[in-house]
């Protein structure tokens, strides 16, 4: 049976067994407590009568509404389907690196290793070619270079004639400078004879 709160007009659907005029109901919206009138035979619609109000704190065994009687909010729309993710591109095949091919006529690394720890070559191994008598090995050359002494850093002595030729231009230049100085001095004495005699009288007697 549908009942309405006399205070806020909230509507609830309650089983008919609870509406017998003895059970007090409480409104969830406004917390009003009242005792609804029992339904009459042939009465339909919403029962809104009040048989008697009960003070707050009275028996609330038949408090409404149930979980299924409370008006529910409209359901949320379902989420939109997400677009499918693009598939990753297929992997690009990469060629495996090729092992380097040893040149023809050379021996692979480790092929010339002795067969045992004692230095004995394996059976059937070819003997190393004999070294020509006129050729020295790299070890001999390195030993010879090591034994050789440091290069001679002492200055080389020039022949006597070369040293004289190298010293002659400097000596000639010194003589030329000396003669030039003497000539300039004599010319100064001749040009400035009167002035020098006036300053130093004995110069007139010396110069004659």
pLDDT on residue 60: 41
pLDDT on residue 84: 74
Distances (CA, A) of 95 to 57, 99, 100, 102, 107: 86, 12, 15, 21, 28
Q: 173-203 pLDDT, tens per residue?
A: 999 999 999 999 999 988 998 898 888 888 8
**Residue found by looking up tokens 């692979």 in the block:** 108
Q: 26-82 pLDDT, tens per residue?
A: 888 888 888 887 776 655 545 554 444 443 443 444 444 444 444 455 557 677 777
Q: 85-136 pLDDT, tens per residue?
A: 777 777 777 766 677 676 665 454 444 444 444 455 556 666 666 655 555 5
């Amino acid at each position: 049976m549908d009942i309405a709160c006399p205070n806020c007009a909230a509507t609830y659907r309650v089983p008919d067994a609870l509406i017998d005029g003895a059970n007090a109901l409480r409104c969830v919206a406004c917390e009003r407590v009242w005792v609804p009138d029992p339904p009459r035979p042939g009465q339909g619609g919403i029962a809104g009568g009040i048989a008697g109000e009960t003070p707050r704190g009275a028996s609330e065994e038949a408090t409404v509404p149930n979980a299924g009687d409370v008006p529910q909010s409209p359901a949320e729309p379902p989420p939109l389907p997400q677009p499918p993710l693009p598939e990753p591109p297929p992997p690009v095949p990469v060629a495996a690196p090729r092992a380097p091919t040893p040149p023809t006529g050379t021996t692979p690394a480790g092929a010339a290793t002795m067969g045992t720890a004692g230095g004995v070559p394996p059976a059937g191994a070819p003997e190393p070619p004999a070294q020509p008598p006129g050729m020295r090995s790299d070890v001999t050359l390195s030993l010879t270079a090591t034994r050789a002494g440091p290069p001679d850093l002492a200055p080389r002595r020039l022949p006597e004639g070369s040293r004289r030729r190298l010293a002659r231009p400097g000596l000639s230049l010194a003589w030329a400078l000396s003669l030039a100085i003497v000539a300039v001095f004599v010319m100064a004495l001749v040009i400035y004879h009167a002035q020098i005699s006036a300053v130093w009288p004995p110069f007139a007697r010396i110069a004659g």
